[in-house]
């Protein structure tokens, strides 16, 4: 049914697990082989349906390098977006952002720079939405501590925690 030896082994294992778990429902005197094949068929169908509904998976490294691969090699000097955003993140900000752990950095970039919603980030990272919120909060707090002097030098009023 599966067309692959490893998938067939997994299917067989799932079949035996379910048969063992639901052995109390097996009626004595009936065809055990047919009962096991029915379980196997249902496992295969359920897994097939689940895989059909699942979005395709993307390699994390491809996503990390996505921006570099799609951005234009030549930037139009009259491009307003380029003029506005070219000096938005200076070295201090980039260094502070790069000093974050990868989990925090990814969530902060996706939310604050790319503008994705918590739900989109959770789906993208394949983690619960609470984890996204927690990482974002912690990442922002770490950045806040690292960028206090930077903000003061730029004329921002900064409240320090007691």
Q: Domain extents for the chain? A: 5-53, 60-153
- What global pTM score does this model have? 0.46
CA separation for the pair 12, 39 (Å, rounded): 10
User: Can you list the residues of the chain whose pLDDT is less than 50?
Assistant: 162
In this predicted structure, what is the pLDDT of residue 157? 82
Q: Do 143 and 97 meet the contact criterion of CB atoms below 8 Å apart?
A: yes
Helix (H, G, I), strand (E, B) or coil at 148: helix
Strands (E), the chain: none
In this predicted structure, what is the pLDDT of residue 158? 78
In this predicted structure, what is the pLDDT of residue 88? 59
User: What class is the 60-153 domain?
Assistant: mainly alpha
């Amino acid at each position: 049914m599966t067309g692959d030896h490893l998938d067939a082994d997994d299917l067989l294992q799932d079949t035996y697990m379910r048969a063992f778990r639901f052995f109390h429902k097996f009626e004595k005197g009936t065809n055990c082989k047919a009962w096991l094949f029915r379980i196997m068929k249902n496992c295969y169908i359920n897994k097939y349906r689940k895989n059909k509904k699942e979005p395709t998976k993307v390699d994390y490294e491809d996503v990390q390098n996505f921006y570099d691969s799609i951005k234009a090699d030549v930037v139009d000097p009259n491009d307003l977006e380029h003029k506005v955003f070219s000096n938005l993140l200076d070295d201090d900000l980039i260094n502070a952002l790069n000093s974050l752990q990868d989990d925090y950095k990814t969530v902060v970039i996706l939310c604050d720079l790319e503008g994705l919603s918590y739900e989109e980030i959770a789906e993208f990272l394949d983690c619960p939405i609470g984890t996204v919120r927690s990482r974002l909060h912690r990442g922002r707090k770490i950045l806040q501590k690292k960028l206090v002097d930077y903000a003061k030098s730029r004329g921002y009023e900064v409240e320090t925690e007691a």
